[in-house]
Structures are given as structure tokens and as C-alpha cells.
Amino acid sequence: MLPYFREKFGNAASRTHAFGWTADAALEQARASVAHLINAEKEEVIFTSGATEACNLAIKGVFDLFNAVPGDTPRNHIITSVTEHKAVLDTCAALEKKGAQVTYLPVNSQGLIDIAELQAAIRPETILVAIMYANNETGTIQPIAQIGNIAKENKVWFFCDATQAVGKIPLDVQVENIDLLAMSAHKIYGPKGVGALYVRRRNPRVRLVAQMDGGGHERAMRSGTLNVPGIVGLGAAADLSKAHIDTDNTRIDFLRNKLEQGLLKISGTVINGSDIHRLPNVCNIAFVGIKAERLISRLNHQIAFSVGSACTSAAQSASHVLVGMGLDERVIEGSVRFSLGRFTTSSEIDQTIELIIKEVLKLQQENSQH
Ligand SMILES: *Cc1c(COP(=O)(O)O)cnc(C)c1O
């Protein structure tokens, strides 16, 4: 990224001089890297400021496309799920105020939607199925290929917020029939404030209405001068993810299981999410009977972990994901999330197990004294 902040400072949209060409070449290389990671074509990648913008552009863009002509029979129905990220849920809520009909599919105790319920929810007015690939709080992986099939059979577009899955597990927009896909650089070791939306060009050709009007950048789907250094960083992160994906997965899965086996020695401990359909790097675990916030506040100088998602933890309200899974209130109260990564070491896992066990036992003891 560094050269693109300094000597290669051109604007990729400047077509009349070498500074612009250099920036544009870097941009197109990054576009190819992102496309390669998800098995898309380069021209199908639209750069954005992150996954939140990509989710907004996909959902609002498709809704606007189908509702551009007032007076037409409205096709205004969107199907999503209760455990989506706020970038999807709040976008759907905003569209409801503009006349959208939204079905929020429930999930089971593992966080999975029911394919039969999805099938039953589709109606003639349905324009979009918006289901995430993997959940950011629990790591639960939805049956994406099946969802893609149902959407395709019913000629409804499938938007997938794959921010947690891209770069972490192998993913293929062709095999899985994904029509629109959101991703973010900072979830794959890239910089913050940059991401992408995949928009399918063939079988079917997906169109949408831009949410940012202006100079017509990004095939007129997202105007505005592009963040060249950030996008170069996203491209590099995509290349590294592609190269590391298999070795990373095996190692991280092993460490995550070690962490869970260690923590499950504490009585009254349960893992939240699916045992099989789960990302290798996420551990969402409940220490029943204690308050997660208290555990975190005692250890947050030694361990970086959280309740719910980083995006909503300031709000301190119960996780809508765990509530959506219908978990017991005491389980939700005692739930924390650990995320492992490419640089997590085995000795960090050992230390975490030791510190958590010690502090949870203390909290349990304090509880029993009251
Ligand atoms: C992080 C995240 C987002 C938001 O990404 P930003 O790049 O921060 O806007 C959206 N969806 C999921 C599933 C995420 O994990």
C-alpha cells in the first residue's frame, strides 16, 4: 500500500497521464485478485468503503430497480433472516419504511435457517433473498449452495453477506449460485474502510440502482474517486488469503478446538452455534450463571474478546443473534466470543484457557457467596 500513498499518488480515474495509468493498473490488479478469491470475473467486482456499504448498495439497489416505476405492480418482497448483521437488518428496516415487505426467517438453536421455510416464503413479488454466508458472532455457516439453488429455480436474486467467510473458507459464486456478495478488507487482514460488492454479469445479469450518484465510477454503480491505497491493500490481502486458506484453516481449527476443550472443563459451559456448520476461527461460548461483561472487564487487559459483535457491543444490549437462536437468558448473559486468526499461537491459547478458568471460577464462587 505504501507506494500508493506517496510516489504513486495518481487518481485512477485520470486517463490523460501516467500517474493515473499507474493507479488504474494497480486497481485492476486488485480487482482481479478479489475476483479470483471468489471465482468471479474482474468486471463483476465493485469497490466500496466496506461491507456495510456493499450490503446497502446490494439491497437498496435491487429494491430501487424493481420499484423505479411508480404505478407498476410492485415487486417489493425481500427474504432475510433474524441473525443477519445490522448492515443487512437495518437496511431492510429502512426499506420497510419505503414500502418493502420483508420476511425475517427464524433460525434453529444452532443458528441455521430451514430450507423448507425459505422455499415457502418465496412469492411472486419476491425480488431478493439476503442470507449471510457465516455469522459474525457464532461462525454458523448457512446452507449457501441450497439457498442459491432455490433462489435460482425461483428466478429470485441471491445476495450473500459473505464478510466472515471470504478468505477464511473456500467460496465460489458460480458453484453456490450467488448473485451479489459483500465483503470487507479488514476482516481478511486488509485495511479498514474498504470492501467490495460482487455483482453477477451473466446467468443472470444482475442490475441495481446506484446509491451514490456522480462521476460514474465502478460501472456507474458507485461513483466517487476510489481509495487506491486501500484497494491495493484489499487486493494483497485477497492474494494472501487465497495462498494461506488451507493451511490456515487446519491450524486455526485445531487451536479453536483446543481452546474449547480447555474451557469446557468448567462446569455449566456450552458452545453456541453449529458443531458441524461452523467457521474454524470463531468460538462463541457461554459460562452459564456468570455475567459476560464482568468476565471481560476483569480480563480485557490480557485477552481481547467480546460479547456479541464489535459493531454493537457499545450498545450493551443482548445479542440479537443469540436471542434469535432462542437460547436461554442465562446462556445469553454468560456468552463471550473469541476469534482466532492467522497469527494466533498455541501458547496464547494455553494462557487464555488458564486465565479464563481462573476468573470464571472466581466469579462462580462470588455468586455462590451472595
Ligand atoms: C464486519 C461485518 C460487516 C460490516 O463490515 P464493514 O466493512 O465494517 O462495514 C457486515 N457483515 C458482516 C457479517 C460482518 O462481519
Pocket flag, ligand 1, residue 256 (CB < 6 Å)? no
- Give the pLDDT of residue 367: 87
Return the residue whose CA atom lies nearest to atom 9 of ligand 1. Answer: 52
Instruction: Please state, rounded to an integer, the average pLDDT across all residues of the chain.
Output: 95
Amino acid at 311: C
Instruction: Please provide residue 62's backbone torsions phi and psi, each rounded to the nearest 5 degrees.
Output: -75, -40
Q: Which residues pair with 104 in a beta bridge?
A: 80
Q: CB of 87 closer than 6 A to ligand 1?
A: yes
- Asked if 84 contacts 138 with a C-beta cutoff of 8 angstroms, the reply is no
Put simply, whether the predicted model's pTM sits higher than 0.75 gets the answer yes
**Best probe residue, ligand 1, of 34, 59, 84, 85 (max atoms within 8 Å of C-beta):** 85
Q: How far does the centroid of ligand 1 lie from the alpha carbon of residue 100, in Å?
A: 23
- DSSP of 326-358, one letter per residue? T--HHHHHTEEEEE--TT--HHHHHHHHHHHHH
- Dump pLDDT digits (tens) for 281-310: 999 999 999 999 999 999 999 999 998 765
Section 7-14 average pLDDT: 91
Beta partners for residue 103, in sequence order? 79
Name which of 259, 332, 268, 274 is nearest 138 in CA terms.
274
Of the chain, the percentage scoring pLDDT greater than 70 comes to 96
Query: With the CA atoms of 92, 96, 102 and 106 taken in that order, what torsion angle do they form, in degrees rounded to the nearest 10?
Result: 60
Atom index in ligand 1 nearest the CA of residue 53 equals 9
pLDDT for residue 15: 87
- For residue 185, the ligand 1 atom closest to its alpha carbon is 7
Ligand 1: residue of 82, 184, 282 to mutate (most ligand atoms within 8 A of CB) is 184
Q: Which of 187, 194, 339 to mutate to test the pocket of ligand 1 (most atoms within 8 A of CB)?
A: 187
Q: Is the CB of 103 under 6 A from ligand 1?
A: no
Handedness of CA 214, 215, 217, 219 (dihedral sign): positive
Q: Phi first, then psi: give them for residue 254, nearest 5 degrees.
A: -60, -45
Contact between 223 and 213 (Cβ < 8 Å) = yes
Write the pLDDT tens digit of every residue in 66-121: 987 766 678 999 999 999 999 999 999 999 999 999 999 999 999 999 999 999 99
3-class DSSP state of 270: strand
195 C-alpha to ligand 1 centroid (Å): 9
Verify whether residue 311 is a known catalytic residue.
Answer: yes
Q: In what order do the strands lie in the sheet with 269-271?
A: 269-271, 282-287, 335-339
Does the pLDDT at position 242 exceed 90? yes
- In whole angstroms, what is the distance from residue 9 CA to residue 1 CA? 11
